[in-house]
């Protein structure tokens, strides 16, 4: 059951870099579910936990990249749009 679904991932996690945010998040949620059920062998648990860390990092990178692209609309005193600025100026 859970063991089969988590073992089908490549041993080197090379597929993670090609995943969209949604795909990576779904894979991460599956790992969390499998680990929560506790019916996974210890060695498999360790392997999928490590994969989960890589998926989490990939999701964080994709989110950070998306945040960099988001801009806030600047308004004039009259409330009219006059341009854009970074969402979180650094």
pLDDT tens profile 2-47: 444 454 556 689 999 999 999 999 999 999 999 999 888 999 999 9
Q: Label residue 20 exposed, middle or buried (CB < 10 Å: 0-12, 13-18, 19+).
A: exposed
| CB atoms closer than 10 angstroms to residue 72 | 12
pTM: 0.69
Q: Can you tell me which residue has the tokens 């990576």?
A: 24
Domain range for 11:
2-86
Query: What domain count does the chain have?
Result: 1
């Amino acid at each position: 059951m859970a063991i089969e679904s988590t073992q089908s991932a490549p041993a080197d996690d090379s597929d993670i870099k090609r995943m969209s945010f949604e795909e990576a998040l779904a894979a991460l949620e599956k790992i969390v579910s499998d680990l929560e059920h506790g019916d996974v062998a210890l060695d498999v648990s360790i392997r999928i936990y490590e994969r989960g860390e890589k998926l989490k990092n990939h999701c964080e990178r994709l989110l950070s990249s998306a945040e960099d692209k988001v801009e806030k609309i600047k308004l004039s005193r009259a409330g009219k749009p006059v341009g854009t600025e970074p969402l979180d100026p650094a």
